[in-house]
Structure 1
Amino acid sequence: MADVPQPGLDRLVDFRSGPVLAGVVPDQNPLIAVTAAHLSAALGQSVVHLGYVDTSRYTVEELPDGTVHHAALDPDADAGDWHEVRSGLEIQIGEALAGSGVSWKLWYLAGRPDRSLTHLARALDASLIVVGSRSQIGMRRIRELAEGSIANHLAHHQHRPVLTVPVEAIDWKDARAPWRP
């Protein structure tokens, strides 16, 4: 079994040393991208990096600069579909970050979000990763309990800090605590 590099003082990341990387998805609350852009500006970074991981595609090759060659899981899928998704994301991000004073770069990735964002963070030498929280309502909450959140997977499988941006709040009286039966 190979040794996994562990977080420690020798691996501590100076927040001003590398860019901020945020995980984004289509039609996501713009709060995640805007928070990442504001954080980038506060840390003296002129560019915020935004990574979208298309889970309907798989990574064929990870390149050292963070880009990936990818292919559809479904061999009958329209090869141009991902271009439309990317274009839609670019419009969405452009609108969200207009006037922020920070430029941005979108990275189109494939496969598992936690692994893909970790690869990109390593390639960029990102200082931290920003992701949004999931909805606490209905089937999405059940799915998160079964699969775990991307933020949780990132926090346990790489050494960079992970900032989770809340996109939905629940009244304290309605929340079930995980330590209660």
Structure 2
Amino acid sequence: MTRSAPHAWHGSPTPGAPTVVVGVVPRQSPVVVRAAADLARALGAALVCVWSDPARTFVAREPDGTLVTTPLDPDHVDSREGDGVAETAMAEELGRNLEGFDVAWRFVYAVGEASRALARVGREEGAAMIVIGSRRPGLGGWMNHLIGGSTAGHLAHTQPLPVTIVPQAPEEVA
């Protein structure tokens, strides 16, 4: 099992200010989180960046907010040096992508299906809206859409927050 402590704010959010929740994934085009940061700044809001790790499942939430998870694959064995590696890499990637933006932000690590995690964090944060990137171009993006459906579609049909979709141009996706 892996424990994931809550991540601290980068910058100071204005008390009572709205939040914008943005869905992020590893190696996503930086255009998505930067567009969300621009939108948050324009609204006077803080930015909450959420990655829902599809390879892990929820076990428990400790009183201090620490998330306890376990791999979905029963053959995967957590190793001491492997705990939190993907989470740490995602947090570092966000730090690079948001460097120089004048907006308070923090990273939230979640597990499971992305639209459910984004909707849950949106409710918890009292978010004004959720921002997500369009599906990745190419065969991989098409297959993900075919198998799992559209995260934007799930969000738009299952919760009351506005959903803003940021297009990812094929030449910008790594």
TM interval, shorter chain, is 0.7 to 0.9
What residue number does 1:37 align with?
Answer: 37
Q: Name the residue aligned to 2:166.
A: 165
Contact 1:49 1:105 survives alignment (8 Å): yes
Aligned ranges for residues 94-133 of structure 1 at < 5 Å?
Answer: 94-133=95-134
2:49 counterpart of 1:50:
yes
Q: TM-score, normalised by structure 2?
A: 0.78
Alpha-carbon offset, residue 72 of structure 1: 1.7
Counterpart Cα distance in 2 of 1:44 and 1:107:
20
Tell me the equivalent position of 2:85: 84
| Long gaps (5+) in structure 1 | 1-15, 171-181
The one-letter code matched in structure 1 to 2:40 is S
Distance (whole Å) between structure 1 residues aligned to residue 77 and residue 154 of structure 2: 29
Kindly tell me: are residues 152 and 52 of structure 1, through their superposed partners in 2, closer, same or farther at Cα, counting changes over 3 Å?
same
**Measured at CA, do residues 108 and 114 of structure 1 come closer, stay the same or move farther in structure 2, by a change above 3 Å?**
same
Amino acid at match of 1:58: T
What secondary structure, in the 3-state scheme, does the structure 1 residue paired with 2:136 have?
A: coil
Q: Percent of aligned pairs with the same residue?
A: 34
Shift of 1:91: 1.4
Partner Cα distance (2:119, 2:141) in 1 = 23
Shift of 1:139: 3.7
Structure 1 residue 168: Cα displacement? 2.1
* Letter paired with 2:48: H
Answer yes or no: is the 8 Å Cα contact 2:18–2:44 preserved in 1.
no
* Structure 1 contact 53–109 (Cα < 8 Å) conserved: yes
The Cα of 1:66 is off from its aligned counterpart by 8.0
Distance 1:126 1:68, change over 3 A: farther
Give how far 1:78 is off.
1.7
- Alignment coverage as a number of residue pairs: 154
SS of residue matched to 1:154: helix
**CA 1:18–1:61 in structure 2 vs 1: closer, same or farther (change >3 Å)?**
farther
Judge conservation of contact 2:156–2:162 (CA < 8 Å) in 1.
yes
Deviation of the 1:62 alpha carbon:
6.0
Could you say what the CA RMSD is over the residues aligned between the two structures, in angstroms? 2.5
Highest Rg: 1 or 2? 1
In the other structure, the counterpart of 2:6 is none
Deviations 1:133-158 (A, max 9, x none): 11231242133134311111111111
Distance 2:108 2:64 in 1: 11
Distance in 2 (CA, whole Å) between partners of 1:50 and 1:66 is: 17
TM-score by length of 1: 0.75
Which deviates more from structure 2 when the two are superposed, residues 132-141 or residues 92-101? 132-141
When residues 29 and 37 of structure 1 are mapped into structure 2, their CA distance, relative to the original with a 3 A threshold, is same
Match of residue 13 from structure 1: none
The structure-2 alpha-carbon separation of the partners of 1:154 and 1:79, relative to structure 1 and needing over 3 Å to count, comes to farther
